[in-house]
Amino acid sequence: MQNKTKVGFDLDGVVIDKPYFVPVFLMDLLVRGRKDQKLVYRYPNTAVERIIRILSHHPLLRCPIEKNITLIKELYKSRKYKLYVVSSRYSFLQKRTKEWFEYYKMRKFFERIYINTENEQPHLYKEKMINKLMLKVFIDDDKPLLNYLKGKVKNVDLIYVSDQHNHFSNK
């Protein structure tokens, strides 16, 4: 039997839609570090902020992105691919992530689901996991993160998912 191609998917913005009630500029403000720094992501340091994030990640507020789910199901059914989730969600969202996959019955399509349980910087975590899993394709909606990865991971097709269209677009 031939080796299956390993494909990694980011979660929020690729598999799961972002919360419809939070404007993009606010989401960026909550997630990114200061603009004068290179690539830095904020960890929510206060309990209040973590609780807000946990509540905003309830499965009913985070629907699957249907176009992308259709493609994931097709890849799964072809039996030519091993599919993984590599999400930079922090450890406090581990339970919510499991709830989402159970609620939408999506777990079976993925070999493994990895989240950032050590609360590392997302770009460093994804670099480490792409190399560890030896992915051939990685799909994400974070352009600065993908630009960072271009210089760090070898022999991996990096695919950008447009925020505006919520479907796979270009490398």
Rounded CA separation 131/158 (Å): 13
The model's pLDDT over 107-158, given as tens digits with 9 standing for 90+, comes to 999 999 999 999 999 999 999 999 999 999 999 999 999 999 999 999 999 9
Rounded CA separation 87/149 (Å): 14
The model's pLDDT over 15-24, given as tens digits with 9 standing for 90+, comes to 999 876 655 5
Question: Which residues are within 8 A (CB) of 70 and not within 5 positions of it... i.e. 6 or more apart?
Answer: none
Band the pLDDT of 39: cuts 50, 70, 90: confident
Residue 103 sits in which domain range? Answer: 5-170
CATH of the domain at 41: 3.40.50.1000
The model's pLDDT over 61-84, given as tens digits with 9 standing for 90+, comes to 999 999 999 999 999 999 999 999
Q: How many domains does the chain have?
A: 1
Mean pLDDT of 8-33: 73
